[in-house]
């Protein structure tokens, strides 16, 4: 017996297939066919309620189709709105050749049986595809799976046709009308499953979108790193909207174009730092959105004359659709937020609304990061200015000390020699020179005090940090002499670098001390022929503080108050005990401090009066102003000795718009009737001291310190 040829074997297989089909048909009467069909529909219905995963559900349906119709393969085709063709959402064949969602295995609408079924919403039975002009041979050519027979029915929802259910190559015979009826029944369940899965996906996308907006909003409060923040936001955005790419474009004012501050795409084609990746303001959709402030939904970008095709050529990223919305701050448009290539379907107005909502978060993040960067730059500038100021103070103190000593000695010798020669015509000149010399000497003393106090404040923080580090070493390991020696060297270096005046703490009764200071100030003010009343109301209370420090505090505050108060008005000095604290208040009835100067009055060398109002005045004169150094010194004393310093002020409402244009005598002001009646403006400085307790007093007597 000769071996059969391939053609003979193929013919015998077909005969067996036909015979098998006939046997099955003969074995099943009409009633059994109906029961079988019902069982298939029942299995599919059970699958509908068993899972929300569309692909898993479609695999169950395809298995039922292959078993019930005895086919070599079957699958579900869905319509792609972006590309206008049909693609395998799920497919299964006996040879395992066909694969779902493959780019090459797609059916055109105008030259395929599936396209005809979709467009005409009618079923199609083709038992010899080679004789049907609608047949699309490209699938067989590309996959190697020969499609000889097909049964296709449309997938319809109440609103529209969404795809096609296809059975291929029936074993043992041709597709019949009974097969068509069964497949159509299955198609109803499949269409319902796709519709439910679509609704479920939309609900999940809405939930993901809300979570994305929430996470993005929360991310703003956790970091000022704009690059990291935008990376997190764009990642969440792409996941929530299921897009291939997305990013943030910002406006470059210098080059007047748009650059990618952050961009992501699934294939890594877009390099944000590339100069050729920038988009022009004129001649691009993004540029139009930036200029008009109106978002753009583009599902066919090639139809838009502003589509910047150069971007596709450079990156290799083909843009099928995109949404671009503006990034608007309170004052201007700063850029655009972009998403490209939705993975399934087209972008909708719901997508535009979501992206617009997120754009507000992104714009706020960019604005906050910009403000933060500007603030940090200002802070660094301020730090540099502080360092310069410290150097100026050091230089000023050094340059004043020696020349003042020489001038002081020279004046004494000059005055002595003039008196010896009986020359007295220079008394007024000598007196004037001595007075200005005393003013310079006082300035030199204040500068030195500030420098020493400032060093003490810095040293306290540095040594505190080092002590904490040493304490940590002590906890983690045994104490060794080497660590003690290292600590001693560090403290010795600190003392050399930050020399501190070790002032003795004096026990001072505030009532007695206040009387003496007030009397001293009255004498000084009377010498300048000032008519300012000083009301003193001091309760007795003990403080532990160096005498020169307390004198500088009280004298400086009272003198400043007198200089801010017109003649005929009063300065009130009040000292009260509140619990364990002693509250000293110095209040003037002057013109008050301008709002712009409130935050600067403790910074030093910043008088609040205009220069022309005090440049030729003497201390204690109205609006003398001084050099703005007393309050800086008091502030630094507060950091060193631990008392609290605060102030409140009210600007006199009767001042003219041009500034301080008020008389230095209250009676000449139409708003003042008599002494003490000027209450429209003024400032109050409050110093909050800790009262000395018995233990502290005893420790101070014995030389102990905290």
Tens digits of per-residue pLDDT, 225-234? 778 778 888 8
**Same domain assignment for residues 602 and 650:** yes
Residue 57 is assigned to a structural domain of this protein: yes
| Conformation bin of residue 422: beta by default, left when phi > 0, alpha when psi is -120 to 50 | left
CA-CA distance, 317 to 301, in Å (whole number)?
13
Please indicate, yes or no, whether residues 489 and 522 belong to a single structural domain of this protein. Answer: no
For residue 14, pLDDT over 60 is answered with no
What pLDDT does residue 288 have?
93
Where does the pLDDT of residue 474 fall: very low under 50, low under 70, confident under 90, or very high at 90 and above?
very low
- Residue 439 or residue 334, greater confidence: 334
pLDDT at 636: 77
pLDDT reading at 38 higher than 60: no
Dihedral Cα 311, 312, 316, 322, nearest 10 deg: 100
Altogether, the residues listed in the chain come to a count of: 706
Asked if residue 570 belongs to a domain, the reply is yes
Same domain, 238 and 370: yes
Q: What is the CATH number of the domain that holds 371?
A: 3.30.450.40
Specify whether 289 is located in the same domain as 159: no
Q: 131-140, 222-231, 291-300, 599-608: which has the minimum mean pLDDT?
A: 599-608
Pick from 498, 504, 401: which is nearest to 454 by CA? Answer: 498
Query: Is the pLDDT at 336 greater than 90, yes or no?
Result: yes
Whether 518 and 587 map to the same domain: the answer is: yes
Range of lowest pLDDT (607-611, 620-624, 668-672): 607-611
From residue 481, alpha-carbon distances to 83, 143, 474, 706 in Å are 80, 82, 12, 25
pLDDT at 615: 39
| Phi-psi region at 575: left, alpha or beta (left = phi > 0; alpha = psi -120 to 50) | beta
- 511 and 493 together in one domain: no
Range of the domain at 27: 13-202
What mean pLDDT do residues 647-658 have?
A: 68
Q: Which residues are paired to 578 by β-bridges? A: 581
User: What's CA 357's distance to the chain center, in Å?
Assistant: 17
Q: Is the pTM higher than 0.75? A: no
* pLDDT of 15: 58
* Residue 255: inside a domain: yes
Task: Give SS3 for 22.
Answer: helix
Render the burial of 47-63: b for 16+ CB within 10 Å, e for the rest: bbeeeeebeebbbbbbe
| Residue 691 pLDDT | 94
What pLDDT was estimated at residue 119?
A: 93
Strand extents, DSSP E, 468-594: 506-509, 533-538, 542-545, 570-578, 581-588
How many domains is the chain partitioned into structurally? 4
Reply yes or no on whether the pLDDT at 685 is more than 80.
Answer: yes
**Confidence tier at 112 by pLDDT (50, 70, 90):** very high
What does the alpha-carbon distance between residue 384 and residue 405 come to, in Å, rounded to a whole number?
32
């Amino acid at each position: 017996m000769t071996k059969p040829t391939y053609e003979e074997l193929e013919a015998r297989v077909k005969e067996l297939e036909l015979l098998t089909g006939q046997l099955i048909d003969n074995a099943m009467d009409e009633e059994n066919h109906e029961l079988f069909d019902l069982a298939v529909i029942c299995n599919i219905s059970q699958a509908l309620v068993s899972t929300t995963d569309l692909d898993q559900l479609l695999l169950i349906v395809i298995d039922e189709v292959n078993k019930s119709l005895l086919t070599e393969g079957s699958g579900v085709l869905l319509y792609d709105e972006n590309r206008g063709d049909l693609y395998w959402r799920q497919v299964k064949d006996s040879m395992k050749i066909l694969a779902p969602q493959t780019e090459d295995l797609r059916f055109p609408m105008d030259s395929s049986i599936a396209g005809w079924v979709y467009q005409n919403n009618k079923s199609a039975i083709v038992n010899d595809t080679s004789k049907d002009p609608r047949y699309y041979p490209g699938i067989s050519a590309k996959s190697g799976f020969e499609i000889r027979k097909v049964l296709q029915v449309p997938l319809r929802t109440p609103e529209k046709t969404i795809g096609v259910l296809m059975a291929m190559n029936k074993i043992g015979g041709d597709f019949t009308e009974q097969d068509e009826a069964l497949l159509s029944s299955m198609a109803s369940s499949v269409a319902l499953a796709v519709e439910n899965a679509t609704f479920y996906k939309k609900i999940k996308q809405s939930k993901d979108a809300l979570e994305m907006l929430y996470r993005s909003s929360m991310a703003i409060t956790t970091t000022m790193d704009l690059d990291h923040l935008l990376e997190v936001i764009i990642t969440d955005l792409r996941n929530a909207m299921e897009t291939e790419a997305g990013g943030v474009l910002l406006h470059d004012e210098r080059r007047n174009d748009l650059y990618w501050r952050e961009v992501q795409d699934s294939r890594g084609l877009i390099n944000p730092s590339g100069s050729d990746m920038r988009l022009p303001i004129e001649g691009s959709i993004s540029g139009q959105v930036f200029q008009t402030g109106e978002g753009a939904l583009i599902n066919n970008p090639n139809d838009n004359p502003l589509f910047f095709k150069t971007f596709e050529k450079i990156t290799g990223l083909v843009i099928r659709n995109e949404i671009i919305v503006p990034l608007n701050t309170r004052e201007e448009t700063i850029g655009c937020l972009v998403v490209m290539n939705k993975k399934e379907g087209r972008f909708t107005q719901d997508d535009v609304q979501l992206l617009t909502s997120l754009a507000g978060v992104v714009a706020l993040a960019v604005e906050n990061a910009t403000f933060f960067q500007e603030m940090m730059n200002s802070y660094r500038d301020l730090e540099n200015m502080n360092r310069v100021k410290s150097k100026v103070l050091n230089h000023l103190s050094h340059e004043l000390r020696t020349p003042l000593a020489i001038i002081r000695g020279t004046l004494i010798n000059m005055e002595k020699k003039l008196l010896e020669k009986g020359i007295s015509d220079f008394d007024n000149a000598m007196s004037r020179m001595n007075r200005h010399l005393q003013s310079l000497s006082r300035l030199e003393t204040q500068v030195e005090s500030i420098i020493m106090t400032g060093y003490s404040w810095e040293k306290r923080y540095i040594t505190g940090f080092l002590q904490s580090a040493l304490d940590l070493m002590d906890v983690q390991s045994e104490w060794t002499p080497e660590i003690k020696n290292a600590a001693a060297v560090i403290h010795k270096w600190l003392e050399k670098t930050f020399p501190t005046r070790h002032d003795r703490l004096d026990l001072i009764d505030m009532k007695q001390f206040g009387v003496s200071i007030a009397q001293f100030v009255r004498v000084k003010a009377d010498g300048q022929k000032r008519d300012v009343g000083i009301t003193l109301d001091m309760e007795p209370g003990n403080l532990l503080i160096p005498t020169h420090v307390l004198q500088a505090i009280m004298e400086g505050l009272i003198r400043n108050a007198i200089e801010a108060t017109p003649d005929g008005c009063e300065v009130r000095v009040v000292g009260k005990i509140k619990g364990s604290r002693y509250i000293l208040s110095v209040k003037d009835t002057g013109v008050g401090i301008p709002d712009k100067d409130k935050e600067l009055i403790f910074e030093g060398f910043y008088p609040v009066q205009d220069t022309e109002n005090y440049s030729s005045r003497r201390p204690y004169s109205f609006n003398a102003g001084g050099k703005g150094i007393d309050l800086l010194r008091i502030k630094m004393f507060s950091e060193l000795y631990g008392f609290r310093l605060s102030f409140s002020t009210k600007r006199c409402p009767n001042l003219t718009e041009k500034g301080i244009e008020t008389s230095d005598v209250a009676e000449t002001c139409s708003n003042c009737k008599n002494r003490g009646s000027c209450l429209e403006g003024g400032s109050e400085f409050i110093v909050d001291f800790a009262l000395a307790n018995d233990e502290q007093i005893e420790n101070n007597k014995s030389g102990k310190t905290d």
